[in-house]
Amino acid sequence: MLTRLLFGKEENLTRKIYFWNLCAGLMISCQSAILLLVVKRAGGDFAGGVFVILYTVPQMLAALGAYSMRDFQVSDVREEYRFHDYYTTRVITNILMILACAVYGIYRGLSAERMIILLLLAGYRVTECMEDVYHGEIQKRGRLDAAALSVTIRVAFSTIVFCVIYGITTNMILASCGMTVTSLVIMLLCNHAMLSVYDDIKRGFAGGRIVRLLVVCFPLFLGAILYSYLVNAPKYSIDRILGENAQTLFNILFLPVFLTNAVCQPIVRPTVNQMGVWWNEGKTGRFIKAALQLGAVIIGINLAVIAGGYFFGCPILGIIYHADLAEYPMTLAVFLCFGGIAALASYLAIVLTIMRKQWFIIAGYMIGYLVSLAVTDRMVKAKEIPGAGYAYGIVMGAVFVTLLVLTVIGIILQTAKKEAEEPAE
Kindly give, in sequence order, each residue whose CB lies less than 8 Å from that of residue 217, ignoring residues fewer than 6 positions away.
67, 68, 69, 72, 89, 358
Q: Report the b/e string of 223-238 with b at 16+ CB within 10 A.
A: bbbbbbbbbbbbbbbb
Residues 67/89, Cβ–Cβ less than 8 Å: yes
Q: For residues 156 and 161, what is the distance between their CA atoms, to the nearest angstrom?
A: 9
C-beta atoms surrounding 286 within 10 Å: 14
Query: What 8-state DSSP symbol labels residue 81?
Result: S
pLDDT recorded at residue 425: 47
Q: Does pTM top 0.85 for this prediction?
A: no
Report the percent of the chain where pLDDT is more than 70: 96
Name the strand (E) or helix (H) holding 311.
Answer: none
Q: For residues 366 and 40, what is the distance between their CA atoms, to the nearest angstrom?
A: 35
Residues of the chain with pLDDT under 50: 424-425
Q: For residues 273 and 270, what is the distance between their CA atoms, to the nearest angstrom?
A: 7
C-beta atoms surrounding 156 within 10 Å: 16
Name the strand (E) or helix (H) holding 202.
Answer: none
Q: What is the pLDDT of residues 105-118, one digit of tens each?
A: 999 888 999 999 99
Region at 131 (left for phi over 0; alpha for psi -120 to 50; beta for the rest): alpha
pLDDT recorded at residue 189: 94
Residues in the chain: 425
pLDDT recorded at residue 268: 82
